[in-house]
Structure 1
Amino acid sequence: MATRPPSTRTITIVDVAAEANVSKSTVSLVLKGSPLIKGETADRVKEAAQRLGYVYNRRAGELRGNASNAIGVVINDLMNPFFAEILVGIERKLVEAGYVVLMAHTREDVVLQDKVLQSMREQHAAGIMLCPALNTPRSILKTVQSWGIPLTVFVRNLGPGSYDFAGGDSERGVYLATTHLIEAGHKRIGFLGGQNGVVFTQRLSGYKQALQAHGMEFKEELVIHANPNREGGHQAMNALLAVTPPVTAAVGYNDIVAFGALSALGEKGLRAGSDIALFGFDNVLDSAHSNPPLSTVDIRPSELGEQAAAILLQRIQNPNAKRMIYTSAPELVIRQTG
């Protein structure tokens, strides 16, 4: 059917409802993309809107409904490519569902994180995805819950609770990496990077469990605390190389720490794999192209992001559903350094 010629009168949702012979609320649901109206009715409404030349003002609809089609994604460290890869997966899933992503980077600053979350609330975000900054208090869960905004926490959990969560099995992943090194004949294995928090505790626990399972003593001096970034990895490896007797292998808190460790080894004329075995954690894309290519624990960052977004979408659709958890099973990727 041909589109009607333009009119000087403003076309409203009431006009579309009359044209399609449906209620105003039905038109509103269809134009918002609601899955509640499907099939022939939805097609009829869309065709009527097109014939009349009606343009849906999404922002006005958001203001009327006190909600938006925006999802707030709050990330603690965008300098780490692991989080960039997670963000790709998150955005892909949310955009497919008709949402836009409002991304914020907190730089591990809890005060800034609070401000960002408040801003998401003021924007009437339809949901929030949060990778908490270090030292984030668990009270943040009750705060966001009191706003009535669906929340999914990802990568770093906040301890016991009923909140939705998506992350990797940190303990199991480091256990596998450490076990691989032990079975390769290494007797003194260091653990590099990480400062505090649940994820650090889990990864260190995996390291300890692997040692214990193979009758090896845990030695505190082989655990080098450092910021979970390249600089921290560089400093941690230098500190580990100063320990006597010397280590022959190390597990990094994450790939970025391991990249910093590679740099420290190179400065001393050492090469990972031949002089000292080294593992990372995450399997970011750059790990396959480091020099030498890094052995690591793969938790498939992009897929993890998609699964985290899928959980939030389910929570938006069903606010009263039981707690949802996704855990990415770790797999070892053996390259030249391990």
Structure 2
Amino acid sequence: MAKSTAPRKNATILDVASAAGVSKSTVSLVLNGSPLIKEETAARVREVAARVGYVYNRRAAQMRSQSSNVIGVVINDLMNPFFAEVLVGIERKLVEAGFITLMAHTNESVELQTKVMQSMREQNAAGLILCPALGTPATLVKEVQAWGIPLVVMVRSLGKGSYDYAGSDNALGTFMATNHLLEKGHRRIGFLGGQSGAVFNDRLEGYRAAMKKHRLKEHPELLCPALPTRQGGYEALQRLLDVEPQASAAVCYNDITALGALAALGERGIAVGRDFAIMGFDGLLDTAHSNPPLSTVDIRPGALGEAAASLMLERLSKPNTARLRYVATPELLLRASA
């Protein structure tokens, strides 16, 4: 006599196993997406589970196993589309591996960052991917490691330490951008945007190295720190244009700063690419459609996000492996602005 598979209230995993003619462990493996079960068997189990009305409680399973399929991702500035592109790369890679992302935005607040990371810890996140807020202490790495949760730091490093990191060669990128402008004959070149932190210091170092290579004296008045935003770039470019003798080009801390600078140049009636050259940094997709299209240092944000996720997946599968690092090699994307 065939086992009944009519829907029942509060069907259990044992009901599914009995109706499908398999063991409880086989049902569990199928529901967790294990590749160890033949697809024919897995399909039968899924079909029976749907027929008897079994609903898989993933949260309860995670509590039983003390594991999770959630990766916490903490971003410092979601207003910058760079991080949206990074997040797409992270999520794409994690979804392929059966994980989901729990994202939080700190708006450069170390206090808020602490709160959201503690919350993700309480939610039993399997790992944390963090772009640190400005002012984050290097001791955060050891604190999170003490929690027993894998940590990948991305974009902004937290100094020396045995933590996994995904970022780019910032100094090389701005060296390439500045060197390109110098080889085009520019000598009064500004550096716009950014204010502090490891990324700012590295990018400013690359700018200075290119000037030094060409045996040019650095002019402090051409350095225009500002918030790394459109408004920051707009205001920094206005300040730069008021310096005499006037600059003929600028290397920007990031693409968003450069887009703000383009707006300021337009207001002044200055033809970008002819009367003034602008270089961005990041490689945002939007830079291909600015007016004019922006030349930039491309570090492939989506690929960087995928790399950060890959480091996390490798750490989860091999907890005792040595420190993992990904450093994107920048490339120049030369367009009409320079």
Within 5 A, what are the aligned runs for 1:1-338? 4-6=4-6, 8=8, 10-14=10-14, 22=23, 24-25=24-25, 27-34=27-34, 38-40=36-38, 44=41, 47-48=44-45, 50-51=47-48, 53=52, 54-338=54-338
CA displacement, residues 40-81 of structure 1 (integer Å, 9 cap, x when unaligned): 4x7546634643644321111122223321111111111111
SS for the counterpart of 1:278 is strand
Cα displacement (A) at 1:203? 0.4
SS for the counterpart of 2:6 is coil
SS for the counterpart of 2:282 is coil
SS for the counterpart of 2:281 is coil
CA displacement, residues 248-298 of structure 1 (integer Å, 9 cap, x when unaligned): 111000000001111111121212211211100011111111111111001
- 1:3, 1:51 within 8 Å by CA — same for their partners in 2? no
- 1:17, 1:45 within 8 Å by CA — same for their partners in 2? no
CA displacement, residues 163-203 of structure 1 (integer Å, 9 cap, x when unaligned): 11111111111110001000000111111011111111110
Change (3 A) 1:214 1:4: farther
CA displacement, residues 284-337 of structure 1 (integer Å, 9 cap, x when unaligned): 111111111111001111111111111111111111111111111111011111
Residue identity in the other structure for 1:299: I
* TM-score for the superposition, normalised by structure 2: 0.92
Q: Distance in 1 between matches of 2:118 and 2:128?
A: 11
SS for the counterpart of 2:270 is coil
CA displacement, residues 9-38 of structure 1 (integer Å, 9 cap, x when unaligned): 75433455666554x556534432346xx1
SS for the counterpart of 1:281 is strand
- After TM superposition, which residue ranges in structure 1, 4 or more long, deviate above 6 angstroms? none
Q: Distance in 2 between matches of 1:272 and 1:69?
A: 48
* TM-score for the superposition, normalised by structure 1: 0.92
Q: Distance in 2 between matches of 1:304 and 1:3?
A: 52
- 2:16, 2:48 within 8 Å by CA — same for their partners in 1? no
Of the structure 1 ranges 193-202 and 143-152, higher mean CA displacement relative to structure 2 is found in 143-152
Q: Distance in 2 between matches of 1:51 and 1:288?
A: 51
Instruction: Point out where structure 1 has 5 or more consecutive residues left out of the alignment.
Output: none
Residue identity in the other structure for 1:143: E
- 1:193, 1:232 within 8 Å by CA — same for their partners in 2? yes
Change (3 A) 1:20 1:196: farther
Q: Distance in 1 between matches of 2:265 and 2:132?
A: 32
Q: Distance in 2 between matches of 1:271 and 1:260?
A: 15
Cα displacement (A) at 1:144? 1.3
Q: Distance in 1 between matches of 2:190 and 2:211?
A: 11
CA displacement, residues 134-160 of structure 1 (integer Å, 9 cap, x when unaligned): 111111111211111111111111111
Instruction: Point out where structure 2 has 5 or more consecutive residues left out of the alignment.
Output: none
- 2:27, 2:45 within 8 Å by CA — same for their partners in 1? no
SS for the counterpart of 1:262 is helix
- 1:166, 1:327 within 8 Å by CA — same for their partners in 2? yes
Residue identity in the other structure for 2:266: G
Q: Distance in 2 between matches of 1:256 and 1:51?
A: 53
- 1:20, 1:45 within 8 Å by CA — same for their partners in 2? no
How many residue pairs get matched?
333
Q: Distance in 1 between matches of 2:303 and 2:181?
A: 27
Q: Distance in 2 between matches of 1:72 and 1:227?
A: 27
Q: What RMSD over aligned residues (CA atoms) do the two structures have, in Å?
A: 2.1
